[in-house]
Amino acid sequence: MAKILVTGGLYWSHTCVELLNSGHEVAVLDNLCNSSEQSLNRVQALTEKTPAFGEGDIRDAQVFDQAF
């Protein structure tokens, strides 16, 4: 099992589902410009697991540092 940070994770929600179903611990960092938190609800419904979620832009160094 690995800890995986998925940036733009709500856009890539299908990837998050596969990672969670494979037993990985998933954290999502997304600025919500191309998606909404509804995608996170669908991931939770499909996997019965809740990935960690942070709203922010990977281009913001402070946000990126806090993600780690």
Flag whether pLDDT at 68 surpasses 80: no
The model's pTM is 0.85
In Å, the largest CA–CA distance within the chain is 32
Tens of pLDDT, residues 31-50: 988 888 899 999 999 999 99
CA–CA separation, 60 vs 48, rounded Å?
31
Domain segments of the chain as ranges: 3-67
Give the mean model confidence (pLDDT) for residues 53-68. Answer: 86
Range from 8-12, 18-22, 36-40 carrying the lowest mean pLDDT: 8-12
